[in-house]
A and B are shown apart, each in its own frame.
Chain A
């Protein structure tokens, strides 16, 4: 079975540009999570969805960040405008049930110059 698929794997862009990260969860999973990983702060939960509905976005750092899940097989995380401090690895994860193990994608390494 295919795992969680994220794209792109790497993204390098200049400050001020819009960045869109994409995620395809495992088929049948009803929870989707977006995380950010940095050396300084470790793994941080940004937002999660249940059945395509955003449930908790308290981890989203600021209004420049937005996330959508238009259907059960696709989600996006958008940063507009991007800043150098947004540089990090962004992970998407999905699970079948909130208490079940979360399965992670390979992550997107984002570098904002």
Chain B
């Protein structure tokens, strides 16, 4: 069975700093998808970034980028120039190809951006 591990329950950085959130996963599959979702205090789940396992190039979305290491089964999220609005829970999620489209979720990392 697939599992997703986020080893940092909580992190705190100063505004404008760069922060990296870690995520590792366990799977025997070769084709799959990885996601980072953000859940601010408003409770909404917001897609941050998506990565297809067959793509070697790391996905980026503005200030958000990932470091995808397929062999190491690692999928970390880097937030550059952090902003107060980045304060949220961040969830890493895994979906295998040819599945029932079920997302396997990590436990989340609470990120606090301090002014």
Which A positions have Cβ atoms within 8 angstroms of B? 31, 33, 42-43, 45, 48, 55-56, 89, 91, 93, 95, 98-99, 101-107, 109
Contacts and interface: CB of A to CB of B under 8 A. Distances in A.
B82 to A, nearest CB: 23
Given A48-B101, A99-B101, A42 B107 contact: yes
Interface of B: 33, 35, 37, 42-47, 50, 91, 95, 97, 100-103, 105, 107-108
Nearest to B42: A106
- For the residues of B in contact with A, the DSSP-based class is loop
B100 A55 contact: yes
Contacts of B103: 43, 45, 102
B47 A101 contact: yes
A91 B91 CA distance: 15
23 contacts: A31-B101, A42-B105, A42-B107, A42-B108, A43-B103, A56-B100, A98-B101, A99-B33, A99-B95, A99-B97, A101-B35, A101-B47, A101-B50, A102-B47, A102-B103, A103-B47, A104-B37, A104-B44, A104-B46, A106-B43, A106-B44, A107-B43, A109-B43
